[in-house]
Amino acid sequence: MIGSKNNPHLEIITTLHQSGYKAYIVGGAVRDMLLNQLPDDVDILTNASAREVADLFANTRQVGKSFPITLVDGVEVASCRAGEALDFPSDDLGMRDFTINSMAWDPVCATLVDPFCGKRDLANKIIRFTRDPEERILEDPLRMIRACRFVAHLDGILATSSLTAILTHAPLIDVARGHVTGERIQMELIKAMALEKPSLFFVSLHETGLLARILPCLDRCFDLDGGPHHGETVFEHSLLVGDALPANRPILRLAGFLHDAGKFDAAGIKEGKLTFAGHEKYIDAIQTDLENLRFSSRDTAYILSLVQAHMRPLTEETTPKAVRRLLAMLDRYDLSFRDFLRMRIADKRGNLAKQPYTLAQIRVRLKKIQDELSGAAFNMNDLDISGSDIMELLDLEPGPEVGRIKEMLFERVLDDPNLNTRANLESLLKG
């Protein structure tokens, strides 16, 4: 832990103490310590100036623009950003976002500095802005989204003052006007995907009016009936599916939360029943939201491909031919069959009107795929004959006709993989 021997942070703080300065572990690391969690990042705050810190240590480098930070053997040491603070470190802590992040720990003296009752809020799982909520939000509107992420992290609630301020200032989350960039919002989304239940994050975003400004494609599904085949709304189903996907695959998990967002556009009534026929093809709204949040072309294409592929059936009765066509579709979308199966399993688990797949049922589906992987052709480039071969054999000039012939051969090979030899394909062309 932070206070243990042979710890670089403790050594730095000890040196600063011995030189007559004050120094503390601050922010999220203190919060994590109180939660008995290993901190991801440890920040040190001192009343020594950046120059004084540099004079004390051999291996230092100055970084940071908004306030002075010195890297000491790779460890960040921040000089108090409140300037000549009369009340150190409380003055600096008062400039931080939430009370649970506005605590300081002195591992040398074993002293906790908690001027804003962050320890109490942490115990009660309350997310409260430090001092004036409006000031904290206006300093950085992204803090509203962070507040929702911490609600999910602690499975907690927003303080009344926090909720009121966010509801008032939610319009500041406007990528088009540049109050907060799409890239920064995207980073918060990705961090939320690592939580145990990111669904709590999306619920909090909806309740504060922020989800409609971040992912309107999902927010509009909040009250949308899931239809006769589901026991939950589309929004509830989406949250269940996302939670069921692995936390170490953030883009896959986000795809789970968005996989049915097209149902809003596809909704219709047929024979007196709600239907979402072809909803997997309604991807425009999802794509717009991802692009607004500056997701890379690669990540956007991956999410949209999973959305479009997730309805492809794979059952105990699926024939080998149908499995090969499924694999050809996944190849076209540049998706692995493993991610396809992960989405199918999560999709079933998120349907409260049905039982999730058993392990035996999953194994049957996996075996069906594995049985067709060896030696099969899943795109036209896997054919044992090239476009040049076709032109030479049929005395054709380069053109679309060659592509049509390859596509015809590929369809035949999907039906019967044994046809994928040079001799058999030539025979098909000559016949």
User: What CA–CA distance (Å, rounded) separates 389 from 392?
Assistant: 5
- Give pLDDT tens digits for 253-302: 999 999 999 999 999 999 999 999 999 999 999 999 999 999 999 999 99
Nearby residues of 13 by Cβ (< 8 Å), 6 or more positions away: 23, 24, 25, 44, 106, 107, 108
pLDDT in tens, the chain (431 residues): 454 556 889 999 999 999 999 999 999 999 999 999 988 889 999 999 999 999 999 999 988 666 789 999 989 999 986 555 568 999 999 999 999 999 999 999 999 999 999 999 999 999 999 999 999 999 999 999 999 999 999 999 999 999 999 999 999 998 878 789 999 999 999 999 999 999 999 999 999 999 999 999 999 999 999 999 999 999 999 999 999 999 999 999 999 999 999 999 999 999 999 999 999 999 999 999 999 999 999 999 999 999 999 999 999 999 999 999 999 999 999 999 999 999 999 999 999 999 999 999 999 999 999 999 987 899 999 999 999 999 999 989 999 999 999 999 999 999 999 999 999 999 999 87
The model carries a pTM of 0.91
Write the pLDDT tens digit of every residue in 217-262. Answer: 999 999 999 999 999 999 999 999 999 999 999 999 999 999 999 9
pLDDT digits (tens, 9 = 90+) for 390-408: 999 998 999 999 999 999 9
Residues 75/43, Cβ–Cβ less than 8 Å: no
**Considering only CA atoms, which of 98, 76, 130, 89 is closest in space to residue 28?**
98
Task: Report the alpha-carbon angle 222-228-234, nearest 5.
Answer: 20
Q: 198 and 192 in contact (C-beta within 8 Å)?
A: yes
Q: Please say whether the dihedral angle defined by the alpha carbons of residues 268, 270, 273 and 275, taken in this order, is positive or negative.
A: negative
Contact 130, 99 (CB under 8 A): yes
In terms of DSSP H, where are the helices of 40-159?
Answer: 50-56, 90-93, 118-124, 133-139, 142-154
Token pair 């030479």: residue: 392
Using alpha carbons, select from 119, 122, 124, 115 the residue that is nearest to residue 92: 115
Is domain 8-120 in CATH 3.30.460.10, yes or no?
Answer: yes
Element spanning 30, H or E: helix 28-34
Tell me the domain boundaries of the chain. 8-120, 380-430
CB 28 within 8 A of CB 40: yes
Q: What share of the chain is helix, strand, coil (3-state, %, to 5)?
A: 55, 10, 35
In residues, how long is the chain?
Answer: 431
